[in-house]
Amino acid sequence: MKRDSGKMDKQSATGDRPANPAGTAPSAQAAFTSYAAPLVGHAVEFASAVRVDASPEALHKLRVSLRRLRSLWWAFAPLLEKDESIRQRALFKYLATAAGKTRDWDILIELLSQEDSGAHDITPKLQEARGSALAVSRETLSNADVKHLLREALAGASKELNTAHERMPLRKFAARRVDAAKRSLKKRMKRANRARRSDYTAFHDVRKAGKKLRYLLDFFEPVLKGSCKSTARRVKRIQKRFGALNDVVASEGLLREHAASLAGSGDAGVTLDWLGKERKRRMRTAAALLRKR
């Protein structure tokens, strides 16, 4: 199952970095636009594509782009006006959630395509619900005017940073923000390791912290001293296991939420039992990774 792994296509991987990281050391303030502009361009492109492309891939790319933007604004938050930075990150989250409403149905449908899920009779109803969610996602994104909102956010942040009196070397700034993301992940892993296995919130926090660190490594690895390969591999494992757990938890919640509208289209109880067993199995797998930290 393809989920929000933070993996970039070739264009994104080469376009979201300062133009000359190996030359004269840029400041963090000057480098911001080199990171942000390609991301905004991708998000605008994918938002436009969703209007005509109903595929899971189109929605997935849009949501990932918006989440990467949110992480980039978090990374540069110490250099930006606090309230405006918080507002922009909330905007990116709102737009990603709009795309995610349909993406959640895609994940549920893919999960239940497994032979032992007992969900064969319910699939047509799930596809119908997915179609309704897609219509809402499209309307929300269209009404929000994604292109205008994102370009306005980019222009505002770029102007603020370019007119700032102080300058911080990009390498120093990047190292500080990556270290902050590492500490956040470590703290949440310790908390999840002590939590009850029924406390999914603690596990979910690990997933979010791991995703943030992965994005920051994608942004800043070329300008950091030393290799980040071991950290990147570890974060990928966290994303894979905790992402797989989140897929089941979110799908189980979605099915319960819409149980009434799906009544009569198959044995939802059997499907929920299967999802419950799968959730426990994936919870154990994720917990095992915590013990290896």
In contact, 175 and 225? CB cutoff 8 Å: yes
Q: 132 pLDDT band (50/70/90 cuts)?
A: very high
Token output for 180: 């902050």
Cα 225-231-236 angle, rounded to 5 deg: 140
Given this model, what pLDDT does residue 286 score? 93
CATH architecture of 10-290: Alpha solenoid (1.40)
Report the alpha-carbon distance of residue 245 to residue 248 in Å, rounded.
Answer: 5
**Contact between 96 and 67 (Cβ < 8 Å):** yes
Q: Which residue type sits at 135?
A: A
CA atoms of 232 and 217, how far apart (whole Å): 7
Q: What would the pLDDT profile of 217-259 be if each residue is shown by its tens digit? A: 999 999 998 888 899 999 999 999 999 999 999 999 999 998 8
Rounded to whole angstroms, the maximal C-alpha distance in the chain is 66
Asked whether the predicted pLDDT for residue 6 surpasses 50, the reply is: no
Q: For residue range 173-224, what is the model confidence (pLDDT) as tens digits?
A: 999 999 999 999 999 999 999 988 778 999 999 999 999 999 999 999 999 9
Is pLDDT above 50 for 167? yes
Give mean pLDDT, residues 54-63: 88
pLDDT of residue 20: 46
- What are the sequence ranges of the domains in the chain? 10-290
Q: Work out the percent of the chain whose per-residue pLDDT is above 90.
A: 65
CB atoms within 10 A of CB 188: 20
Residues in a beta bridge with 232: none
Distance from C-alpha of 65 to C-alpha of 49, rounded to nearest angstrom: 13
Could you count the other beta carbons within 10 Å of the beta carbon of residue 87?
Answer: 12
Rounded to whole angstroms, how far apart are CA atoms 5 and 105? 18
What does residue 119 show for φ and ψ, rounded to 5 degrees? -110, 20
Question: Whole-prediction pTM value?
Answer: 0.86
Query: Which tokens is 9 given?
Result: 């296509």
Average pLDDT of the residues of the chain: 87
Neighbours of 277 (CB within 10 A): 12
Q: Which amino acid is at 287?
A: A
Per-residue pLDDT band for 42 (boundaries 50, 70, 90) equals: very high
Count of Cβ atoms closer than 10 Å to residue 174 Cβ: 24
Answer for the pair 32, 76: CB distance below 8 angstroms, yes or no.
yes
